[in-house]
Amino acid sequence: MKKNLLVLTLFFSVLAFAQSEEKYSKTMGFYISPNVQVGYNLGNSIKDSQHKNDAYYQQYISPYLPNDFTYGVGVVGGYQLLSFFALGTGIKYNYISDDLHLLNWIVQPKFIIKGDTAATTFEFEYGKQFNQSNVSDTHYFGGKIGYQDFFSKRLNQEIGLFIYRYNSNVSNAWFIGLSGSITVFSKKNYTVYGKD
């Protein structure tokens, strides 16, 4: 009788634990994430100093080079497919220089290492220009490491460090900088605030 009681107790304990685990989501489901960023151009000062006496460069090339700083805003929507992987797409506007106002369509795979109250993210990003400007047909690629802080059932905020390389027929510029975003997601029990 004692053996049967012990087996039943263990069985119901495992069953109860499994049911409580099912309430918690390992993914955030669908998400949308508006973001802002500012970056510094690592290459302009080197190029300008190399060509400071070149009249052709100063007249025809230098005005189309990126400024020292770039600013951007964008929005990404996507779905977290696995507990550690999400895939998103969206649009991003970047002010690169007076002649370079870029609208990019972007693809963003994201890897997530989640804790109870925060997560570390690794993102890769590819963007392709779809608007017309003085310099057209640019694209960029790069990566970002970020820290997400959960503060609601369906919200988290993220700050990250990125590095991107922009390619055009005039210049190849590397930008390094900071980004910030807020993510709204569909599964309310993804964070500790939804586990009630």
User: pLDDT above 70 covers what percent of the chain?
Assistant: 72
- Identify the CA nearest to 37 among candidates 110, 84, 102: 102
CA distances from 2 to 5, 7, 8, 9, 93 (A): 5, 9, 10, 10, 69
Question: What digits encode the pLDDT tens for the residues 84-135?
Answer: 999 999 999 988 777 678 899 999 999 999 988 889 999 999 999 998 877 7
Per-residue pLDDT at 5 exceeds 90: no
Domain boundaries, the chain: 28-194
pLDDT tier, 19 (very low <50, low <70, confident <90, very high otherwise): very low
Give the pTM: 0.76
Look at residue 34 in the predicted model and tell me its pLDDT: 97
Over residues 133-160, the mean pLDDT reads 89
Q: Which residues contact 20 (CB under 8 A, 6 or more apart)?
A: none
**Is pLDDT of 142 > 60?**
yes
| pLDDT at residue 6 in the model | 55
Nearest to 189 by CA among 45, 20, 34: 20
The count of other CB atoms within 10 Å of the CB of residue 87 is 14
CATH architecture of 28-194: Beta Barrel (2.40)
